Amino acid sequence: MNPLVREQITDAIDNNKLESLVVLIAGYDEENLDLSNKNIDDNALKHIAKGLRSNTNVTEINLSNNNIGDDGSNAISEVIMSSKLITQANLSNNNITNEGVDVIAENLSKNKTLQKLDLSGNRLGNNDFDFFAEELRFNDTLKELDLSYNDIEKKDVLDIANALNPGPKEINKSIEKLGLKGAHIKEDAKEALRWLEETKSNFEVNIEDNQLNREPVTEEKIKEAIEQNKLKEATKLIRSYEGESLDLGNLGINDDTANAVFNGLIENTTLKTLNLENNDITAIGVSKLTKRIDDNETLERISLKNNKINEGGAGSLAILLKGNQSLKELDLEGNEIRDAGVGLLSQALRKNDHIEKINLSNNEVTDKGVGYIDDMLHKNQHLKDIDLSNNNIKGESVLDIQYLVSHTDTLDISGNKISDSGARGIEVALKRSNQPKTLDISNNNISEEEISNIKSIVEKNPDLTVNAEKQRETDGKDLTTQSQQVSEQQPPLRSEEKKVLGKFTSDAVKSNLQIGS
């Protein structure tokens, strides 16, 4: 793809310039149109389909690793199957279900051009593939069909085998390669496929990595697939993983790999804790997480510690927090989400009664971010454990610090710039506390006198646990300059991350997730 055209198409997709997208696709002048890994959703795909109707050059289209569901699949399959030019279509690693594949099958039965179709890594099968198999009989041009890494069961395999049966009822004589890797194939279904290979000329089927006598999926197998960049296999393994905890930290996972991981979460019903810390996931990758686990009912804890999600990723997570009903803990330490990101998250959390613990440590949060959190705590009675350590909080508003301490059970504000004014707010909150509370205020700028006052309060209340040690030597000096220097050292947002932030800020406004002023 011409680099300039690629950039224009990506810009149109990222910034929702859908009419421009139609024009760009219609005028695209190369045979191979690669739109993989573009975070394309159903609405964008409908406009791509509209542009393709007028295109006279494209013969191959790649839409793998996107956010395509049945609505988008229906729109694009109608165009692909009615085209007299397109010979190859890749729709792998999306969210197409049997409902969408039935429409593909209906269009496929009328098609006379398509030779290769990749539907691997979707949500197909589950013993409900008979319509697709039946319609397959009436196509006589398709040579390669890949259904690998779906939920293909025994009955689905037998339905496909019957459609390709070289007997009196056979109509489809064109398929030469059938991909069924990673299917749930039992031995009797295997035998049917082997028989097809032996009796049907010019035909081969790939049934590697099926679930017959397979050992349980382990964390090590998933890590191995990721390290070897076998993304389809990783998706399938995560879908079948039966453990409650999965540690994928420190694997160099980028946005494309993250998309494969998140695809696996769609069908997983056992995983409760997912660790993705110390990877290379950006705002773009996190936006895919939002679409993948919105309906997940089991995942309770996610760590995205030390990635690169920035404010844009916080916007995506805000949308997730508004709809998800299972997530209880979220670790976002070290992601440079800053006050703007905290504002988006706080607005979402006003309406979330499930999150109990959040880690916002080391994110350049200032007093402004504390204000956003206080506003949220007015509405949210469930979030009681907050980590705001190692930020740029000075605590200049006594009331803000007082409210923050009063309305949390466990609070870490160590390693900030809190001085005596903030300490006085802490004193008031501790004096009024009538329930167990754990507070860490170490490594701030609080004087010995104020520390002594706080310790005196704690000694009188056995329900209070406060770490107030290791205060900095300030000599009454303000550390604002140091805070500014730290902020200036941070790299600016990349252009694509700015686009994601703009997109999700816009979505947030539409969803009443407005950043406070």
Assigned superfamily of 3-206? Ribonuclease Inhibitor (3.80.10.10)
- Dmax of the chain from CA atoms? 95
Report how far residue 253's alpha carbon sits from residue 67's, in angstroms, rounded to the nearest whole number: 19
pLDDT at 152 over 70: yes
User: What b/e readout covers 308-325, taking b as 16+ CB neighbours within 10 angstroms?
Assistant: bbbbbbbbbbbbbbbebe
Report how far residue 398's alpha carbon sits from residue 375's, in angstroms, rounded to the nearest whole number: 15
| Residue 422 confidence (pLDDT) | 94
For the entire predicted model, the pTM comes to 0.66
| Residue 47 confidence (pLDDT) | 96
pLDDT at 458 over 60: yes
The per-residue pLDDT of the chain, averaged, comes to 85
| Residue 2 confidence (pLDDT) | 67
Give the bridge partners for 303, in sequence order.
275, 331
| Residue 452 confidence (pLDDT) | 95
pLDDT at 249 over 80: yes
Domain with CATH 3.80.10.10 in the chain: 3-206, 226-364
Residue 512 CB neighbours (<10 A): 11
pLDDT at 302 over 60: yes
pLDDT at 75 over 70: yes
| Residue 146 confidence (pLDDT) | 94
pLDDT level of residue 209 (50, 70, 90 thresholds):
low
Highest-scoring range by mean pLDDT, 130-134, 235-239, 283-287, 482-486: 283-287
pLDDT tens digits for range 396-422 = 999 999 999 999 999 999 999 999 999
Report how far residue 221's alpha carbon sits from residue 201's, in angstroms, rounded to the nearest whole number: 36
Report how far residue 150's alpha carbon sits from residue 192's, in angstroms, rounded to the nearest whole number: 19
More confident residue, 488 or 269: 269
pLDDT level of residue 475 (50, 70, 90 thresholds):
very low
Highest-scoring range by mean pLDDT, 183-187, 188-192, 438-442: 438-442
Kindly list the strands in the beta sheet with 32-34, ordered across the sheet, starting from the edge strand earlier in the chain.
Answer: 32-34, 60-62, 88-90, 116-118, 144-146, 177-179, 204-206
CATH for the stretch 226-364? 3.80.10.10
pLDDT level of residue 217 (50, 70, 90 thresholds):
confident
Whole-number percent of the chain with pLDDT over 70: 86
| Residue 233 confidence (pLDDT) | 85
| Residue 211 confidence (pLDDT) | 57
Average pLDDT over residues 230-246: 89
Report how far residue 150's alpha carbon sits from residue 132's, in angstroms, rounded to the nearest whole number: 14
More confident residue, 504 or 47: 47
pLDDT tens digits for range 318-356 = 988 887 888 999 999 999 999 999 999 999 999 888 999
Cα 53 → chain centroid: 31
pLDDT level of residue 504 (50, 70, 90 thresholds):
very low
Average pLDDT over residues 281-307: 87
pLDDT level of residue 67 (50, 70, 90 thresholds):
confident
pLDDT at 244 over 50: yes
| Residue 6 confidence (pLDDT) | 82
User: What DSSP line would sit under 7-66, residue for residue?
Assistant: HHHHHHHHTT-HHHHHHHHHT--SSEEE-TTS---HHHHHHHHHHHHH-SS--EEE--SS
